[in-house]
Structure formats: C-alpha cells, structure tokens
Amino acid sequence: MGIIKTDLWLQQEFNYPTRICERLAPYFKGQNKHEIYQQLLRFGMFKPSRMSRNTLEKMIDNHTWTRIEEIYQLYTEKWSGPKIPVFLFPINSNSGFFRKVEKSKSGVSFPDKMFLFLSEDVNLKEVEALFVHEYHHICRLNMLKGNMEDYTLLDSIIIEGLAEYAVLKNCGKKYLAEWCNLYSENQIKQFWERYLKNNLDCKKKEKFHDDLLYGLGRFPKLVGYAAGFSIVHEYYQKHPYSTKKSFTLSAEKLIDQTSYKL
C-alpha cells in the first residue's frame, strides 16, 4: 500500500467530505460514509473552510504526500512492519481530543490503516514523529493480535507510552508530544493512585475507558497518555531498548518492573 493519493480526492471533493469518506468505506467494514466522517472528526479530520483549504494548498505546494511516502518507506523497512494504507488530510484545528494540546498535527491508527491530520505549518520532522507514534501502534496491534475492543485501559496506557517512547528514540526529545510534559512525576503518581490504578481492567468499548485515557470531564487532561509515557520511560531506565521487542512486550510485565506496580 503506502501513502494514498488523497490530494486528488481533496481537489475533487473538498467541499463534500462525506463523499471523500465514501471512498474510505471499503476500509471500514460495516460503516457508512457519515459514520466514518463522524469517527474521523473526533481525531482531527477537516471541515470545509477557508483555513482548511489554505492548509490543503500548502500541503500540495510542499509535496507533503511524496515526503511522507519517504518516511513510510523508511520505517516499514526499518521495523519490518505491515504495508498499510496511510491517508493524509488537513486538520480541523478547533476540534478533536488533542486540539488544545497538539494544534498542528493529529493522527489515529487501526491495525490495517493510518490517518494523519496536518496543519499548514507543521514541519517534516514533526510529521515523522507523528508517523512513528501511529506506526508503532500498528506494529504492536499486528504483533499482539486480538480484538481491539477487548483491550483494557492498562493496554491502552502502555501502548501510548511505548509509541511515544519510540518517538523519543527515533526523533529525539524535541519532538515528543506536549502531553509528555503536562505533569510532574509526582502529579502523575498521584493521578495513578487516585484515578487509574483501580480502573485498569476497564475495556476499550466502555465509555469510562476513554474518559480516563483522554482525561475527559473531571479527569486531568490526557492523564492516561501522560501516565503511559512516565511508566514506559521509567521501565527503560532499567532495561535495554529495542523497538521491535517493544511491539510484543507485555503491559503487565512492563508495569510490574516499575514503581507503578498493580
């Protein structure tokens, strides 16, 4: 597969995003174009506007599709990962779980596909960091198998921490997501005891899972993400790092060798 030419789709159907999502329907079994669009909006999919049109034009001018294809080739070969389709779209900077924290980029990955949502001012190294994070998810999901809906909050916390640690190792500290530094270690440990530790068996299909992972409502913003990175970072202060081994490292085994014991 590789980078899908969504630039052509966007030039033809920019004002009708559900028509674009109709082209995505073969990749989403059992979902119609409206359901697909609503799902992607949660993670940063554009809405037609002058700003998103400007973003598209800048992405085309910058040969974004070609440049990300090079990143794709680099990591699929380096990690011997699956050859999945990657879809690029302008970002809607005013919505989505991460908008107040990460304003220039967002993404969402599935075992068999990836979506990247970009602003006009995001630089190529930031895009690489986003790709590394999302592609690590895909590699881990494919190695561990299983149904995503059966994943627990613990699985989700660790998968996010491992993905961002891969960013640290492959792109550098400068390109870590801002949520890695939202809280001090002491704050995260307080959140762990207060909110997370007793809810780790919560399944992905339950609403409470996302409330805790993303920090919705009364919970601290992106608390699950921040805790995941802190846990993984602590683990790798004591153990040698291998990206490929991180695809299959058990969440329970990892956390048991940190101060965040179950």
Same domain, 128 and 7: yes
| 196 in any annotated domain | yes
Same domain, 82 and 206: no
- Given 144, 173, 188, the domain boundary residue is 144
- Given 88, 114, 144, the domain boundary residue is 144
* Domain count across the chain: 2
The domain of 130 spans 2-144
What single string gives the DSSP state of each residue in the chain?
A: -EE--HHHHHHHHTT-HHHHHHHHGGGSTT--HHHHHHHHHTTTB--SSHHHHHHHHHHHHTTHHHHHHHHHHHHHHHTT----EEEEEEB-TT-STTTTT-SSEEEEEETTEEEEEE-TT--HHHHHHHHHHHHHHHHHHHHH-S-GGG-BHHHHHHHHHHHHHHHHHHH-GGGS-GGGGSS-HHHHHHHIIIIIGGGTT-BTTSHHHHHHHHT-TTSPTTHHHHHHHHHHHHHHTTS---HHHHTT--HHHHHHTSSS--
Same domain, 224 and 184: yes
Would you write out the chain's pLDDT as a tens digit for each of its 262 residues? 899 999 999 999 999 999 999 999 999 998 999 999 999 999 999 999 999 999 999 999 999 999 999 999 999 999 999 999 999 999 996 654 544 445 689 999 999 999 999 998 889 999 999 999 999 999 999 998 777 778 999 999 999 999 999 999 999 999 999 999 999 999 999 999 999 999 999 999 888 999 999 999 999 999 999 999 999 999 999 999 999 999 999 999 999 999 997 7
Same domain, 39 and 55: yes
- Given 124, 144, 164, the domain boundary residue is 144
| 262 in any annotated domain | no
